[in-house]
Amino acid sequence: MKLNFALILSIIVAVGLVAFVFTVFQSSSEKESLVSELKARTGQIAKEFYSNNLAYIESNDTEKVRHFIDSVSIHYNLLGIAVYYNNDSVITSALAIRPYLANSTDYVSRAINADTTTESFFTYDKKRVYQFIRPVVRGNITSNAIIFYSDAQYIKNMINGIWLRNFVRWFIQALVISFVIIMIIRWGIFKPINKIVNWVHAARSGNVEFLKRKPPAGFLAPLHKEIVNITKAMHEAKAVAEEEARLRSQAESVWTPERLKVEMENLLNGKKMIVVSNREPYMHIHSGRDIQCIMPASGMITAMEPVLKACGGLWIASGTGDADKEMVDAKDKLKVPPEEPSYTLRRMWLTKEEEDHFYYGFSNEGLWPLCHIAHTRPTFRKIDWDYYKKVNEDFARAVIEETAGEDDPFVLIQDYHFALLPALIKKEKPNAKVALFWHIPWPNPESFGICPWQRDILTGMLGADLIGFHTQYHCNHFLETINSSLEARVLWENFSVNRAGHTTMVKPFPISIAFTLKDYDDGEGKKDPALLLSRHNISAEFMGIGVDRIDYTKGIVEKFLAIERFLEKNPAYQERFTFVQIGAPSRTLIKTYSDMVSEVEKEAERINWKFKSKNWKPILLLKHHHSHEEIAPFYSSANLCMVTSLHDGMNLVAKEFVAARSQSDGVLILSRFAGASQEMQGAIIVNPYDIEKTADAIKNALEMPLDEQQFRMKQMRHTIVGNNIYFWAARLLRTMAAIH
């Protein structure tokens, strides 16, 4: 209230000063104009009167002169006219003006003596009067004069009117301006300030959900974003402190980002760590006039990104977003993540031909089906192989460039796109610590022998000091392939390969997700499955979830067939159970993938037509990329999750589902051909090719008692906490550091 009063008073004073100065100027100009007009008019009357009526003035007939000047006064709208002969002889047009003569005597004498007109203003009886005196010349002698009296009071009245109108106008303007400004302050300043106060309060209490609700647009958006980031950082710091206290009290050795960071500092000892992958962790795309930053769908990114966020370093990857080039500096680099930069991303640019032959060709039509035993024939072309070698050489040059001046950097290469890269780097930097992690399975020697360039690939991979796979099974296959294909010594006792004096360790490192004790009881709140389904106009009591790239290795069609068989065998679940399949199309330029998308769509449509009713269908196919935030409600609320990979290195969807179950309920149905099946012992393990058994597993999951669900889920959650991504990175990097 005090602020409002002070503000109104200030506005009134400010507007008043402006109005006063303006009124002074206006009234002065107006008065000057009116006076000039009055003088000019009176002077003209005197001139006309003098030239036309001199004979009357010279007449000595007093009554005749008085009558004449009285009529002239009325005609010209004057107060009166006086004819001055001498001090004792003055004829006036009206008795009312005779008192004015006292103010005219001196001026009359001055006019006669100087033989010139004079003028002046005087006030009589609170009335302003203007007098104009014209001397009369007779026979070259000036002996008398004519006095013209005009009413000048209207000038004062008009000036007073100007002051009054300006005052009223000023007062009204001041009130209007005060009201408008107060409204602007209340709605444009106080309201945002109150919002900021609420945000700060939410930040202090760690209420991130409140801050995320209805983020503002406009000038407060950057401030809101920073407060959200600060709140997250405070919340995470508090969670870390609580987690450390739990660790101390429980004497558990759970890996956290902070613990990994300290471990990395000790292991690297100032050396640079570089991660190389084909897929970038963040990509920029045009969204209307804006540029949006998204995280591509990738298990490799899900696993590796938390490691780089915790430890820093450089990530070299292909730039694939249509706005990527607009966001990098002159060296093709930028700091990521956007909201809280903690490491550097360098983008490499592939030509259309390189993308077609290196990525789509050799990598995904050759190596991918070769390593995944999913009954898809690999295709090998010489031109694809040539581009594969070229891109590997380009990335090798980028690594050498980024490590100039460093003799022994740490280089962690990701996946099958860069099988040749380890040897290329080692050739230029023999002391570099190089590791290659192979995210997909490794087939048996006979299967891999299909590749025409298997020796080149194996030789390139053995340039690494360490090769990691998800499982020991894949390690064994790789060593058997080396044993049968190259002149190299395989040391089975410590799972290593010695070739040309260089030793390569081959170890299993089952990859995981960022899941720690602070996340254990902090998952997405469970929602009613029926509520999630109702948003898609589906009425159902139970819900299953599947999250996959649409790929022939993921067993999506087999999954749909199992759902169809389950509903056939258990009609009581018809109109009560819906399976939500989130499927992100990928590599659709490859025919087998585009055919796969069509097959998945047709199979879902066929089964839905077979069973669906008015407000229900058995399969809801959501065929586009979903962010982690969009998937989280489905993970936390579904009754079951199905991972039916026909062949998979690990499959982190299984672990993400388990991590989301903060209530320790729900059931995971997991393919025995996914690497995750070796760790997730609490899952129902199935052979996805066995449609009957998989259908029975769905029924078993839906009818499993809650206590059994919780026993299984707690067992799996405990496994993930103890073997999270930070533990994976620590084991991998410790092994790298120990290699001499």
Torsion of CA 18, 20, 25, 26, to 10 degrees: 100
Cβ contact 637:543 at 8 Å: yes
Q: What whole-number distance in Å separates Cα of residue 106 and Cα of residue 93?
A: 20
- What are 178's two structure tokens? 């005060």
Q: Does the structure show a pLDDT above 60 at 732?
A: yes
β-sheet bridge partners, residue 672? none
Q: What is the pLDDT of residue 625?
A: 82
118: tokens are 């004079």
**Residue 151's pLDDT band (boundaries 50, 70, 90)?**
confident
Say whether pLDDT at 282 is over 80.
yes
Residue 666 has pLDDT above 80, yes or no: yes
Backbone dihedral angles phi then psi of residue 497, each to the nearest 5 degrees: -130, 130
Identity at 200, one-letter amino acid code: V
What percent of the chain is predicted at pLDDT more than 70?
85
Per-residue pLDDT tens over the stretch 676-690: 999 999 999 999 999
Residue where the block lists tokens 């430890």: 311
3-state secondary structure of 136: strand
Distances (CA, A) of 489 to 364, 472, 499, 504, 662: 30, 19, 6, 10, 48
- The amino acid at residue 696 is D
Phi, psi of 413 (to 5 degrees): -95, 135
- The answer on pLDDT for 214 being more than 70 is no
Model-level pTM? 0.69
The secondary structure of 660-722 as a DSSP string is H-TTS--EEEEETTBGGGGT-TTSEEE-TT-HHHHHHHHHHHHH--HHHHHHHHHHHHHHHHH
Number of helices and strands in the chain (H, E) = 27, 23
Using DSSP's 3-state secondary structure scheme, residue 519 falls into helix
Q: How confident is the model at residue 159 (pLDDT cuts 50, 70, 90)?
A: confident
Please determine, for residue 219, whether its predicted confidence score (pLDDT) is greater than 90: no
Torsion angle of alpha carbons 629, 550, 392, 481, nearest 10°? 120
Residue 88 pLDDT greater than 70, yes or no? no
More confident: 152 or 539: 539
Using the CB atoms, write b or e for 100-119: b if 16+ within 10 Å: bbebbeebbeebbeeeebbb
How far apart CA 259 and CA 327 sit, in angstroms, is: 32
Residue 494 has pLDDT above 80, yes or no: yes
247 pLDDT more than 60: no
Is the pLDDT at 286 greater than 80? The verdict is: yes
In this prediction, residue 138 has a pLDDT band, given cuts at 50, 70 and 90, of low
Mean pLDDT, the chain, whole residue set? 86
Strand positions, DSSP E, 161-319: 273-276, 283-287, 290-294, 314-318
Q: Directed axis angle between helix 591-611 and helix 556-569, to 10°?
A: 10
* Secondary structure in 3-state letters for 552-606: CCCCHHHHHHHHHHHHHHCHHHCCCEEEEEEEEECCCCCHHHHHHHHHHHHHHHH
Binned at pLDDT 50, 70 and 90, residue 203 comes out as low
Q: C-alpha angle with apex 437: 386 to 481, nearest 5 degrees?
A: 70
Tell me how far apart the alpha carbons of residues 92 and 106 are, in angstroms, rounded to a whole number. 17
Residue 216 burial (CB count, 10 A)? 14
Cα separation, 58 vs 370, in Å, equals 137
Peptide bond into 337 cis (omega under 30): yes
pLDDT level of residue 393 (50, 70, 90 thresholds)? very high
Q: Which two tokens stand for residue 701?
A: 């999951």
- Which residues, listed in sequence order, are joined to residue 276 by a DSSP beta bridge? 316, 413
Q: What is the dihedral of CA 325, 326, 327, 330, to 10 degrees?
A: 70
Q: What is the pLDDT of residue 251?
A: 42
DSSP for 339-377?
A: SS--EEEEEE---HHHIIIIIIIIIIIIIHHHHS-SS--
pLDDT above 90: residue 739: no
Euclidean distance between the first and the last CA atom of the chain, given in angstroms as a whole number? 75
Cβ 276 vs Cβ 395: under 8 Å:
yes
Structure tokens at 469: 């796979």
Strand partners, 134: 146
What is the pLDDT at residue 437? 97
Entry field: residues in the chain: 740
**Alpha helices (runs of H) in 365-471, residue ranges in sequence order:** 368-371, 382-402, 421-428, 445-448, 454-461
pLDDT, residue 139, reads 60
pLDDT tens, position by position, 669-726: 999 999 999 999 999 999 999 999 999 999 999 999 999 999 999 999 999 998 999 9
Q: At what angle do helices 299-311 and 725-738 cross, to 10 degrees?
A: 70
Q: Domains of the chain, with CATH numbers?
A: 1-38+167-203 (no CATH), 53-151 (3.30.450.20), 258-508 (3.40.50.2000), 523-723 (3.40.50.2000)
Q: How far is 268 from 239, CA to CA, in rounded Å?
A: 27
pLDDT score, position 527: 76
